[in-house]
Chains A and B, each alone.
Chain A
Amino acid sequence: MSSESEIVQVRDVVKDFRPGFGIRKKRVLHGISFDVMQGEIFGFVGPNGAGKTTTLKLLMGLIRATSGTAKILGHDIGETAFRREVGFLPENAYFYDYLTGREVLDFYARLSGVPSRERANRVETLLDWVGLSYAGDSRIRTYSKGMAQRVGIAQALVHDPSVVFLDEPMSGLDPIGRKEIRDLIIRLRTEGKTVFMNTHILSDVEMVCDRVAIIVEGKIRYQGHTHDFLDDGEHDCEIVVSGVEPELATQLEERHGAELRGQGERVEMRVAEKKVGAVLDAVLKARGRVLAVTPQRVSLESIFLDAVREEEGAQ
C-alpha cells in the first residue's frame, strides 16, 4: 500500500436518531466527509455531543448511516472480514467482568483469529505494554476505571491490527498512564499503523496527532495538519517592557503598529514577528527595559474556539 492511500474514507455521512418512539428525528451527523491516510495519527476533536462517538460507532458497524458511504481499508463498513485489521477502543469500554484480564485478551484474540501458538505470547506482550501484567489473573470486576481502560487498549491491539480507532483513549488515566498511552500511540505510528483518535484534550492532539479534524454539532468545521499551526506561518509576539516614556509609546504605535496596554513600569504590546527587532531597538535606545518576549503560536485551542463560535454564529 502506498504511503498516500486512504485507510478511512468517509463521504457525506448523515445520521439521524429517532429518540423515543421514532416520530421526531434528530440529525446528529450532517453529511460529514474526511479521509485518514496510511500511517498517520488522526485526531478527531470536538465539544461534548458534537458527534465524535457517533462517527466512530458508525465506522465500527454498530450503528447504520442514514445516508452516505464509509470505507475502511477499501472495504464497505458493513463487511466483517476486514476487521481482522481493525482495533477499537470504545468510549468507557466494558468487558465481561467475570473474566480475568488475561482471559479477556485471550477471548478477543481468538475472535480475531490469532493462531493458538501465538496467542499466549501476544496476550502477555499486551498486558506488559499496558502495564497490567501484575493484575492479569484478577477478575475485571475488581479493576479500577483506569485499569479497565488499559484492558480496553490492550484488546484493541491484541490481534496486531493495521488501523486502530480509539474513543477518548486517555480518559480515566492518571498522568503517568496518559504519558504511557501517548508513547504507545506514537510507537504504533513508528510501526506503520494508522491511528484514529477521538478526544477533546487538545494538548494530547498537539503532542501526538499528525492531522486533525474539528467537528462541531455534526459538521466538520476544520481540517489541517498539526505542524501547519504549530511551527510555521506568521506569528505575533507579545513583548513586555518597562520605563516607556509617552513619546516612545507614540513612536511604537505609529511607526511599528504595536498595540500597547498599560504604562510606566509594565507595558505589554503585541507586534508582528518581523517588527520585533525594530521595536526592541527603539525601546533600548530610549533606555527602556525589556522584560519578556513571547512568540504567540496559533494554538489548536484558538482554532477550536473559532470553529465553535463560527457554528454558534451560523445558528
Chain B
Amino acid sequence: MKAIERIWTIGLNTVREAIRNKLLYTLLFFAIVMIGTGVIVGSISYVEGSRILQDVGLASIRLFSTGIAIFVGVGLIHGEVYRRTIYTILSKPVSRAEFLIGKFVGLVMTIWLQLLIMSAAFVVVSLLSGAPVDLGHASALGLIGVELAIVVAVATLFSAFTTPMLASFFTLGIYMMGHLSRDLLQIGANSESASLERITRVIYEVLPDLEMYNLSIQAVHQLPIAASEVWLPVLYGLGYVAAILFAASHIFERRDFK
C-alpha cells in the first residue's frame, strides 16, 4: 500500500471523528445564526442593506471557520498522544510523517466541508434578499478556504509538540500577526530606523501574509479582481503549508511518546 492511501485512511477517519463529534454541529449552528443575523441587520438598515448583509456574512464565515480550525487543530496531534490512540497506529506500517499529514488532511477536509455548508447558506441568504452572487464571492470564499488550510497547518505544527493551551495561544498569535504583517512592514518602511525595518521585514517573510486572502471588500462592492489576486495566494498557500508540514514532521519524528 502506498503512503497516499495510508494518509487518506487517517484523513478520512479524522473527518469521521469530526462528524460524530456533536460539538462541531454546535459551532456550525452558531455560524449559520450569525449569517442569519446579517440578514436581519441588512433588512432593517435602509442604506446598502445587501452589502451589510454580505459583509457580516463573510466576516462571520471567516471568524467561525477560523475558530473551529484553531479549536480543533490545536488538539489534533496532542489528543492522539494523550489518549494513546497513536500507539497502535504507529505500530502499523505508518510513518510519523504520514500520520501527521493524514491528520492535517482530515481536518482540512472537515473545515472545508463546513465552509461549503456555510457558503451554501451565504448564497441562499444573499439570493433571498436580492443581493448579487458572482465569481467575486466565489473567489473570496475560496481564498478563505486556502487561508484555513494555512491556519490548520500552523495549529498542527504546534499540536505536534505542545499542549492545546499553548498551541492555541501560538496559533492565534500567528494568525493575528499574519493579518497585521503588511501593516508592520509599512510601519518599518516608514520608520527612520534601519533595524526596525529589518525586523519587520523578517517578520513579514517568516509569518504568513494572510491579508492577501481577504477579498471580502472587492467581492461585496463588486470591484474587479485580477486573476493573480487569486492564483498567487493559492500558490503561496500551497508552499507555506508544505513548509510548515515539513517542519512539523521533523519535530514530530524526534518525539518520545510517553
Contact = CB atoms under 8 A, between A and B. Distances in A.
Interface of A: 17, 57, 60-64, 80-84, 86-88, 90, 92-96, 98-99, 107-108, 110-113, 152, 155-156, 159, 165
Contacts of B13: 96, 99, 107
10 contacts: A17-B256, A60-B90, A60-B91, A61-B90, A61-B91, A82-B93, A83-B94, A96-B17, A107-B13, A165-B91
Interface of B is mostly: helix
Interface in B69-115: 83-95
A95 B88 CA distance: 8
Given A61-B90, A63-B258, A107-B9, 9 more contacts: A17-B256, A62-B87, A80-B94, A81-B93, A82-B93, A83-B93, A87-B91, A111-B6, A111-B94
B46 interface: no
Interface of B: 1, 5-6, 9-10, 13, 16-17, 20-21, 83-95, 254, 256-258
Given A63-B257, A64-B256, A90 B20 contact: no
Contacts of B83: 94
Given A63-B258, A98-B16, A107-B9, A93 B92 contact: no
A303 to B, nearest CB: 31
A96 B93 contact: no
Contacts of A112: 92-93
A81 B1 CA distance: 10
Given A88-B87, A108-B92, A111-B9, A62 B256 contact: yes
Contact of B20 (A93, A98, A108): A98
A111 B17 contact: no
Contacts of A87: 91
A161 to B, nearest CB: 10
B93 A111 contact: yes
A96 B16 CA distance: 11
A63 B256 contact: yes
A60 B87 contact: yes
Contact of A94 (B5, B85, B94): B85
